[in-house]
Structure 1
Amino acid sequence: MRPFLHRLRTSAWSYLRRAPGTYVWLLALFITTVALHHMDPRFEQEFLRQRSTNLHALSTHPVRVLVSSALWIDGGHWWPYALLYTVLHARAEHWLGTPRWLAVTAAAHVLATLISEGALLWAISTGHAPATAVNTLDIGVSYALAGTIGVLTYRLPPPWRYVYLAVILTLYGSPLATSRTFTDLGHFTSLLIGLACHPLCPRRPRPLPRTRPAQ
């Protein structure tokens, strides 16, 4: 039993050391999720709406809500995010390094939010969405996660890279042909942003030239 616990602690410490940003973020989500579960349901929605990146909040406190919206999960359970963060975010952070991983996730979260909310604003102004949509609840970490899924394409060697790319484009693109919500647009946009972050990916070292043996 002791050797197993020792290997478990060693493995956990290795993950934390290689991807500190991922697990600090995950810890923040755990704390906020526990806090939500202790709130009155009537108060919870208003509390989250004040931290949502809806059109009203973006027009008054854009920086604050762009940051705070990535620290809360709208209901549900925390453990699926622990799995997704370990499989996706931790791997991307270890591969890219914390600064570049953070740049990818921030770009996906911020730009996809602005583009999707801009599309919602257009829908409201043209009568395709009700005026009350300016206060739509929009929080969570799914845009940043989609951006990480996109940039991980370059972690795979061909031909698996192209299979993976086809799968994620289908997964995120198919909802645009059916439901066409602003969140569907945001998810697909964040995936494209992750794919556009190829310049941030580490380059593989070139193989050394072969030398001919001396005659």
Structure 2
Amino acid sequence: MPFSQATAPLRWAARFPVTLCYVLGLVAVALLQRGLSTPGEEQLVSSASTNLRNLADGRVQTLLESAFVTEEDPSRLWLWLPGLACLLALGELLWRSRRLAGTIVLGHVGGTAVVAVGLVVALRLGWVESSVVDDDDVGVSYAAMGVIGALVGAFPRRVRPAWAAWWLVVAAAFAWFNQDFTSVGHLVSLGLGLVAGAWLARGGAAQGRRLRWTPVPLGLAAGAFAFGVGVLVDEFDGQAATALLLGAAAAALAAGASAPSRRPG
């Protein structure tokens, strides 16, 4: 085997270090969770959660830990991990590693912080039960929604309004239907990602790459889109169908409004 072929996997790994490290970290934690007893796994999730009690106790390390721990059955990791890898790899292909890492942090930490402040206000106003301070809040979804929002800057100008409208309307619909802080966090992280994507598109990422939509990035984008929908849709029911239809309508309207007008004759 030629040396260049033998080292090809290493060259690919060097191009996507953030994606690789995050994916391997999730796999390692999932294997750890599978080896724990049920009480042990519950303790791990609780200690890594960015709930109000942990944050009030000064456990700021949960802002990192919570991004690698999931509440789902660890054996289900293999169902959604490829989609997350597609999303992160596309972001790293676009912006390089440092900007992808920044976008992940913005979505995860920014979404967590806004949700925490909102819960404190809701508690003081009596809008939520006091038990919310101990609710678990872990997983990759805030980070993922931040990256999905930021992808708006990767598309041609005529596609950006439709992309933003689709995700904003779908995420807002699920936040309305579910009435829980996790869904609100998805919407907040998405909004933060859209702001980051607008900045990246307007020259803030001058060192980034002009992406040519060849089959590889198109495949990554398809996997990222499917993963993003899976983050928002727990199960496909009437509410999910309504949210997706509203998103499609909003995307169509946004695309029509942004289309260049043709002057007659």
TM-score range (shorter-chain normalised) is 0.7 to 0.9
Runs of 5+ in structure 1 lacking a partner? 206-215
Runs of 5+ in structure 2 lacking a partner? 210-265
- TM-score with structure 1 setting the length: 0.84
Q: How does 1:56-205 map to 2 (within 5 A)?
A: 56-76=53-73, 77-197=76-196, 198-201=198-201, 202-203=205-206
What is the CA deviation profile of residues 145-196 of structure 1, one whole-angstrom value per residue up to 9, with x for unaligned ones? 0000001011111322222222211221111222221111111010011111
- Mean Cα deviation higher: 135-144 or 40-49: 40-49
What is the CA-CA distance between 1:74 and the residue it aligns to? 1.4
Larger Cα Rg: Structure 1 or Structure 2? Answer: 1
What is the CA-CA distance between 1:48 and the residue it aligns to? 1.1
Q: Hey, what's the Cα distance between the residues in 2 that align with 1:85 and 1:183? A: 18
Partner of residue 18, structure 1: 15
Partner of residue 44, structure 1: 41
Matched letter for residue 55 of structure 1: L
Q: Helix, strand or coil for the counterpart of 2:66?
A: helix
Q: How many residues align?
A: 200
- TM-score with structure 2 setting the length: 0.69
Q: Is the 8 A contact 1:33 1:75 kept in 2?
A: no
Q: Is the 8 A contact 1:147 1:195 kept in 2?
A: yes
Q: Percent identity?
A: 25
Matched letter for residue 196 of structure 1: V
Q: Hey, what's the Cα distance between the residues in 2 that align with 1:15 and 1:186? A: 33
Q: CA RMSD in A?
A: 2.3
